[in-house]
C-alpha cells in the first residue's frame, strides 16, 4: 500500500532557487501514490519551467487566476475543492507575508485564502536566505500564518545558494515527503510520551574488541517514527547503529547495556509507554582490559569471565509506575526457534502485558519483518511486511490497549 494512495495534493511553488527541489518532490509524491496538481507563481517560473513540472505530475500546471481553461474563471476555487491538502514548497518570505496578511493577488495566494480551512490543510516548507528567515518580520508573519491554521513542516540548515550558511534552506524532498506522510497518519497517541530502545549493545572486551549482535536497529527506529507520526512525544535510546533519527524524535545514543539502562531510567519518569525493542546483550565481560589483549603463542584464547547484564525490560516492568498502570511496557523477543512458546514464556517472566516476538536471523539487518503479538490471552500474527508498516500496526494495537 502506497502511503499517499488516494490523496490529491496541490503543490504550490513560489519564488526561490529551491524550486529545483520541487521537481524531485513532485516525483516522490506521485511515487507514494498521490495525484499532484502543480500551481506556480510568476516568480517560480523564473527558476523552473511549467513544462518540467507538468511532465512529472502528468497534469497541466496552473499559473494564472485568469486561466481560460476554467469554464467559470474560478481556478482559485476549483483547485482546492477536491484537494486533501495544499503544500507550498518552496514557500518564500514574500508568500509567508501574503498568508499572514490575507493578500490574494495571484493564483497561489488566492487558492490558499479561498481553500476550505476545515477540510484542506495548508503545509509550508519555507526557503530563503538565513537573514530573511531570522528577520523579525518573517518570524512574526510565520507565527501569524501558523496561528491561522497553517502547518510548518520544518526548516533546513546548511549552505545556501548565496554562499552563506545557516537556517533557511528548504527541507530535502525526502524529508518533506516523510512529513506529509506523517501528517496524514491517524493521531492515536496524542498526549502520550513513548520511550523506545533500539539496536544492539556493545560490551567491550578490550579497547578494540567487544561482544555485540546483528541487530540493525531498523525495527526500533521504525517504531519511534510510527509513534511520532501518531502524535506522541518520542524518546529513542539507540545502541551503536548508523541510522538517521526519525523526524521529531529525541535521540539518546548509548553503547553498552549499562549505558542503555542508565539512559532509559533517566527518561522513564516522563514516559507513559515503554517499548523495549533493542537487542540487549545478556552478558558482558566481568572486566574490560585497558590494553589490547595480545596472543601469547600458546594457541589458547584468553580466559574471559562473564557477568549478567541488568535486565532493562524487567526493571521498568517492575517499577512502581508500571505496576500502577502509569507506564505501559512492551517487550520484544528475538528468537531462533519455537517463537510462540518462547514469547509466551518471556512475557510471563518479564511481567509485561504485551510481548512482540520475531525470528531474529530472519529479520536482523533486513527491511522487512514478521511479528507475533502475545498477551495473556491470545497470540496475533502480523504477516511479513516492511518494518514501518508493521510499526504502524503495532502502534495502533498499543493505542487501543492503553485507551481501554
Active site residues: 162
* 199 close to 236: Cβ distance less than 8 angstroms: no
Rounded Cα distance between 35 and 57, Å, is 7
Q: DSSP string spanning 135-175?
A: SHHHHHHHHHHHHTT-EE---EEEE-TTS-EEEEEPPPHHH
Task: Give the C-alpha separation, 389 to 48, whole Å.
Answer: 35
Would residue 109 be called left, alpha or beta, if left means φ above 0 and alpha means ψ between -120 and 50 degrees? alpha
Task: Please say whether the beta carbons of 125 and 171 come within 8 A.
Answer: yes
Q: Kindly state the helix (H) or strand (E) to which residue 21 belongs, with its residue range.
A: helix 19-31
125: Cβ contacts below 8 Å, ≥ 6 apart: 87, 88, 89, 90, 91, 153, 154, 170, 171, 176
Q: Measured on CA atoms in the order 123, 128, 133, 136, is the torsion positive or negative? A: negative
Please say whether the beta carbons of 309 and 280 come within 8 A.
yes
What's the distance, Cα to Cα, between the start and end of the chain in Å? 29
Rg (the chain; Cα; Å): 25
DSSP output for 313-341: HHHHHTSHHHHTTSSEEEEEEEESS-HHH
Amino acid at each position: 500500500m502506497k502511503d499517499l494512495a488516494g490523496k490529491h495534493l496541490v503543490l504550490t511553488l513560489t519564488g526561490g532557487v529551491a524550486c529545483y527541489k520541487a521537481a524531485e518532490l513532485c516525483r516522490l509524491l506521485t511515487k507514494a501514490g498521490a495525484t499532484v496538481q502543480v500551481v506556480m507563481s510568476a516568480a517560480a517560473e523564473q527558476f523552473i519551467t511549467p513544462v518540467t513540472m507538468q511532465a512529472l505530475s502528468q497534469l497541466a500546471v496552473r499559473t494564472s487566476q485568469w486561466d481560460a481553461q476554467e469554464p467559470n474563471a474560478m481556478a482559485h476555487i476549483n483547485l482546492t475543492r477536491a484537494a486533501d491538502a495544499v503544500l507550498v514548497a518552496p514557500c518564500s518570505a514574500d508568500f509567508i507575508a501574503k498568508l499572514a496578511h490575507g493578500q490574494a493577488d495571484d493564483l497561489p495566494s488566492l487558492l490558499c485564502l479561498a481553500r476550505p480551512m476545515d477540510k484542506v490543510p495548508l503545509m509550508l516548507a519555507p526557503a530563503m536566505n538565513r537573514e530573511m528567515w531570522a528577520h523579525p518580520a518573517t518570524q512574526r508573519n510565520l507565527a501569524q500564518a501558523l496561528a491561522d491554521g497553517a502547518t510548518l513542516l520544518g526548516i533546513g540548515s546548511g549552505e545556501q545558494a548565496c554562499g552563506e550558511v545557516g537556517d533557511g534552506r528548504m527541507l530535502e524532498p525526502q524529508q518533506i515527503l516523510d512529513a506529509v506522510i506523517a501528517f496524514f497518519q491517524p493521531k492515536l497517541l496524542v498526549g502520550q510520551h513513548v520511550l523506545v530502545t533500539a539496536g544492539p549493545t556493545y560490551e567491550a572486551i578490550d579497547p578494540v574488541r567487544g561482544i555485540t549482535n546483528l541487530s540493525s536497529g531498523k525495527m526500533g527506529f521504525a517504531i519511534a517514527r510510527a509513534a511520532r507520526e501518531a502524535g506522541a512525544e518520542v524518546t529513542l535510546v539507540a545502541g551503536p547503529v548508523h541510522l538517521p533519527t526519525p523526524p521529531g524524535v529525541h535521540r539518546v545514543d548509548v553503547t553498552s547495556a549499562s549505558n542503555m539502562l542508565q539512559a532509559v531510567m533517566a527518561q522513564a519518569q516522563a514516559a507513559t509507554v515503554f517499548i523495549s525493542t533493542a537487542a540487549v546483550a545478556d552478558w558482558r565481560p566481568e572486566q574490560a582490559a585497558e590494553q589490547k589483549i595480545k596472543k601469547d603463542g600458546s594457541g589458547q584464547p584468553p580466559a574471559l569471565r562473564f557477568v549478567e547484564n541488568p535486565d532493562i525490560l524487567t526493571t521498568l516492568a517492575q517499577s512502581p509506575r508500571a505496576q500502577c498502570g502509569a507506564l505501559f511496557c512492551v517487550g520484544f523477543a528475538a528468537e531462533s526457534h519455537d517463537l510462540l512458546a518462547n514469547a509466551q514464556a518471556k512475557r510471563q517472566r518479564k511481567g509485561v502485558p504485551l510481548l512482540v516476538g520475531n525470528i531474529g536471523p530472519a529479520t536482523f539487518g533486513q527491511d522487512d519483518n514478521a511479528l507475533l503479538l502475545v498477551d495473556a490471552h491470545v497470540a496475533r500474527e502480523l504477516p511479513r511486511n516492511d518494518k514501518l508498516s508493521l510499526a504502524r500496526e503495532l502502534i495502533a494495537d498499543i493505542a487501543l490497549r492503553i485507551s481501554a
